[in-house]
Amino acid sequence: MKVERNMSPITAQIRLVSSHPQVYEPCDDSFALVDALLADRANLLEHHPTVCMEVGCGSGYVITSLALMLGQEASGVHYFATDTNTNAMRVTQETSEAHGVHVELISTDIASGLNSRLEGLVDVMVVNPPYVPTPTDEVGCDGIASSWAGGEHGVIVINKILPVADKLLSKKGWMYLVTITENNPSQICLQMRKKGYAARIVLQRSTEEESLQVIKFWRDYDSEVETAEVGSANKTFPARVVDSMLSQLSRLSFRRNDNSNNS
């Protein structure tokens, strides 16, 4: 059953979001990601992106919402969306067209085959990955289960996405990633820190089933120098450093009570 909610005029309207039995419909995690983008909208507009991309587009709700919230103020932006589910390709096309948005759709695993075309060009990447802890053999299975099955700790697909994002993101590139507590977000931030990225939690939200975080990553050239120095000393960043960083950032990050929004 499709989840209903009151929508801002600058996000995709649920009634116009297409559907298919084998395509993941907008739910709490989708809404959290879009709300995080809305919370950061002023920064996104000032960012002046030219290429935006969603990895794992599903229904197209998120990439369409991103295009709508950037709107006329960000003319000339190219939008791309990928998914392994061919039904998701059709549904995303229908959703985007219903909102007057053009999205180039690419049926591929994460972003396979796109390095030569988009390497270093993506200014904004949005990802609501398969993050639910499941048996490993469920990862990448056919149908709708592929949209949530994340394997051990729910991070098998996330761990594949991170290096791809590093290759595709531009020098000023930002990535917004949905995680849950079981994914150990501090470890994800540690991985990205070693690649030269800073991070902050844009939004945290608890539902009946899970505790969600939307984390924003961006290239931090000071941290790249720091990482190189640490690497040359044959050491790694201790997890407690990242935990402390996340704790501080989470207290300063955008929070909102979603009791009236979730259904």
Distance CA 125, CA 130 (A): 16
| pLDDT on residue 137 | 83
Amino acid at residue number 234: N
* Closest by CA position to 88, among listed 98, 96, 100, 99: 96
pLDDT beyond 70 at 24 = yes
pLDDT on residue 223: 57
pLDDT at 14: 96
What's the confidence (pLDDT) of residue 45? 96
Total residue length of the chain? 263
Confidence of residue 145 (pLDDT cuts 50, 70, 90): confident
DSSP alpha helix (H) spans, 125-202: 156-168, 185-194
pLDDT tier, 247 (very low <50, low <70, confident <90, very high otherwise): low
Closest CA to 210 of 243, 181, 183, 248: 181
- pLDDT at residue 40 tops 60: yes
| Mean pLDDT score, 125-149 | 88
Q: Provide the 10 A C-beta neighbour count for residue 163.
A: 12
- Measured from the Cβ of residue 2, the count of other Cβ atoms closer than 10 Å reads 11
- The ranges assigned to domains in the chain are 14-252
What is the rounded average pLDDT of the residues 90-98? 98
Distance (Å, rounded) from C-alpha 256 to C-alpha 205? 7
User: Which pLDDT band, with edges at 50, 70 and 90, does 29 fall under?
Assistant: very high
CATH of 14-252, one of 3.40.50.150, 3.40.920.10, 3.40.50.800, 3.40.50.410: 3.40.50.150
Select from 152, 142, 101, 147 the least CA-distant residue to 128: 147
- For the stretch 162-220, pLDDT in tens is 999 999 999 999 999 999 999 999 999 999 999 999 999 999 999 888 999 999 999 99
Per cent of the chain over pLDDT 70 is: 81
pLDDT recorded at residue 116: 87
Q: Which pLDDT score, from 0 to 100, does residue 140 have?
A: 79
Average pLDDT over the chain, rounded to whole?
Answer: 85
Phi, psi of 178 (to 5 degrees): -85, 130
Q: What is the pLDDT of residues 214-242, one digit of tens each?
A: 999 999 977 554 544 444 433 334 444 45
pLDDT at 112 over 60: yes
Rg (Cα) of the chain, in Å, rounded? 17
